[in-house]
């Protein structure tokens, strides 16, 4: 039996122009201005009918927030065993850096498919099912493709996924093993995106590229809802977020404003810090130059592949959130990223991905330069499971046929 959720979606709105004449319940891509559409809700209705503490205490991971999400029928919810991702403090790192506030890692690597991409793609795929779509396509640097393949396969859909040819083998194999049709492309993610866009009419697939449909934002929004509930409806002083397409940063900022309007939180909102790599930092450049839109970054390169996004269709939404929050955009180099990854592992036992390590590197940079106080409470987003990435081999070797010099172990 079909059961409808008590959803509160009213309409969709162009993120750039503010036009509100986009009907809910029908398929949408970008707005007429060629920019992302944002889902809008009857927040007064949610406030009147939804108990904040009750919804926050439910099981089910990000699907617990169903009244604040756009899926209308239970049969269209595609789930793979989601749970809340943990908040893990870094006390040894705090002590070593003279920090009196809390340094907290939100470890999104615990989600299905091992990354925070599960949130956005679960919503995008569920809405695609609701609309009767059967073929989905996207460009990916790895984790998003894996998430779409898994959820779409679960939903009985066909997926076409295109990734740069230097995407880690583990990601490419994961995509195909979870039912996706995947191709390596001799280019970057924006080149892969062009292939997807150019093939829409002839192949008949739906483009699920970052921010080119409205619902990945809604999935990523749940990071903000979940974080607030886990922190007893307070928020940290600052959030450091690895920023490629920026869906999560945009989604969290949207969630914070929705909660504020409903009276679920009060007080100041966190500073939102967009973290990029020096080899691909279009948002940082636009921020530094006081621009609202970012130029295409030429010769993009960084080993933190998830943030190697030379151009983002939601650039202005990222920059708006950063500036409105009193935050900033910062780039860190690959050496600093790898140093941070090893420090997190050696001191805290945390195996984080390079993109997550970039947020730790950016925090250390901000601390050293006085941008953030040592008493500040900060959250660093680790966006993927560290096991999915190449790791340095620091093991020694022993010949068991020779005498073991045990004094060398002292």
Please list the pLDDT of the chain residue by residue as tens digits (410 residues). 344 566 899 999 999 999 999 999 999 999 999 999 999 999 999 999 999 999 999 998 999 999 999 999 999 999 999 999 999 999 999 999 999 999 999 999 999 999 999 999 999 999 999 999 999 999 999 999 999 999 999 999 999 999 999 998 999 999 999 999 999 999 999 999 999 999 999 999 999 999 999 999 999 999 999 999 999 999 999 999 999 999 999 999 999 999 999 999 999 999 999 999 999 999 999 999 999 999 999 999 999 999 999 999 999 999 999 999 999 999 999 999 999 999 999 999 999 999 999 999 999 999 999 999 999 999 999 999 999 998 889 899 999 999 999 998 98
Closest CA to 62 of 295, 252, 338: 252
Tokens of 400: 């068991």
- Cα-based distances in Å from 239 to 283, 363, 373: 16, 9, 13
Please give the CATH architecture assigned to the domain spanning 87-112+214-388: 3-Layer(aba) Sandwich (3.40)
Residues, the chain: 410
Closest CA to 237 of 326, 306, 160, 298: 326
- For residue 40, the number of C-alpha atoms closer than 13 Å in the C-beta half-sphere is 15
User: Is 153 exposed, middle or buried, given 0-12, 13-18 or 19+ CB atoms closer than 10 A?
Assistant: middle
Taking a C-beta distance cutoff of 8 angstroms, is the pair 322, 292 a contact?
no
Strand 158-164 relative to strand 135-139: parallel, antiparallel, unpaired?
parallel
Taking a C-beta distance cutoff of 8 angstroms, is the pair 28, 42 a contact?
no
Helix, strand, or coil here: 12? Answer: strand
Helix, strand, or coil here: 160? Answer: strand
Check residue 261 and report its DSSP letter.
Answer: H
Taking a C-beta distance cutoff of 8 angstroms, is the pair 138, 145 a contact?
yes
- Cα-based distances in Å from 9 to 12, 19, 71, 265: 8, 16, 9, 21
- pTM here is 0.95
Distance from the first to the final alpha carbon of the chain: 67
**Sequence spans of domains, the chain:** 87-112+214-388
Taking a C-beta distance cutoff of 8 angstroms, is the pair 180, 344 a contact?
no
User: Is 406 exposed, middle or buried, given 0-12, 13-18 or 19+ CB atoms closer than 10 A?
Assistant: exposed
Residues 9-17: contacts with CB within 8 Å, 24+ apart? 9/39, 9/40, 9/41, 9/42, 9/70, 10/40, 10/41, 10/42, 11/40, 12/37, 12/38, 12/39, 12/40, 12/214, 13/37, 13/38, 13/40, 14/38, 15/314, 15/316, 15/317, 16/316
* Backbone Cα Rg of the chain: 21
Count the Cβ atoms, other than its own, within 10 Å of residue 73: 14
- Cα-based distances in Å from 194 to 139, 282, 334, 363: 9, 19, 27, 34
């Amino acid at each position: 039996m079909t059961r409808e959720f008590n959803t509160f979606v009213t309409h969709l709105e162009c993120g750039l122009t503010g036009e509100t004449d986009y009907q809910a319940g029908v398929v949408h891509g970008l707005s007429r201005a060629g920019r992302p559409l944002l889902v809008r809700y009857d927040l007064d209705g949610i406030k009147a009918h939804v108990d904040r503490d009750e919804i926050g205490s439910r099981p089910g991971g990000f699907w617990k927030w169903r009244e604040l999400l756009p899926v209308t029928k239970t049969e269209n919810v595609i789930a793979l065993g989601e749970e809340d991702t943990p908040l893990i403090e870094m006390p040894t790192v705090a002590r070593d850096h003279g920090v009196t506030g809390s340094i907290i890692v939100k470890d999104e690597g615990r989600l299905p498919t091992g990354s925070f991409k599960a949130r956005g793609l679960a919503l995008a795929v569920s809405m695609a099912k609701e609309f009767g779509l059967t073929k989905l396509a996207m460009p990916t640097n790895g984790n998003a493709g894996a998430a779409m393949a898994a959820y779409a396969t679960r939903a009985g859909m066909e997926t076409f996924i295109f990734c740069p040819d230097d995407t880690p083998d583990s990601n490419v194999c994961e995509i195909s093993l979870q039912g996706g049709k995947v191709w390596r492309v001799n280019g970057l993610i924006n080149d892969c995106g062009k292939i997807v866009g150019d093939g829409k009419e002839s192949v008949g697939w739906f483009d699920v590229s970052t921010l080119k449909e409205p619902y990945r934002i809604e999935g990523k929004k749940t990071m903000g809802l979940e974080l607030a509930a886990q922190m007893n409806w307070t928020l940290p002083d600052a959030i450091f977020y690895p920023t490629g397409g920026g869906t999560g940063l945009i989604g969290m900022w949207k969630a914070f404003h929705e909660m504020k309007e409903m009276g679920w939180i009060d007080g100041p909102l966190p500073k939102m810090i967009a973290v990029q790599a020096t080899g691909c930092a279009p948002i940082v450049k636009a921020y530094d130059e006081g621009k609202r839109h970012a130029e295409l970054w030429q010769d993009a390169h960084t080993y933190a592949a998830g943030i190697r996004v030379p151009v983002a269709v939601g650039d202005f939404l990222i920059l708006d959130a950063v500036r409105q929050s009193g935050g900033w955009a910062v780039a860190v180099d690959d050496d600093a990223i790898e140093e941070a990854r090893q420090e997190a592992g050696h001191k805290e036992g945390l195996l984080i991905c390079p993109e997550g390590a970039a947020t730790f590197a950016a925090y250390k940079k901000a601390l050293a330069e006085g941008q953030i106080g040592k008493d500040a409470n900060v959250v660093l987003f680790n966006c993927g499971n560290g096991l999915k990435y190449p790791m340095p081999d620091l093991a020694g070797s022993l010949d068991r046929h020779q005498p073991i010099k045990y004094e060398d172990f002292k």
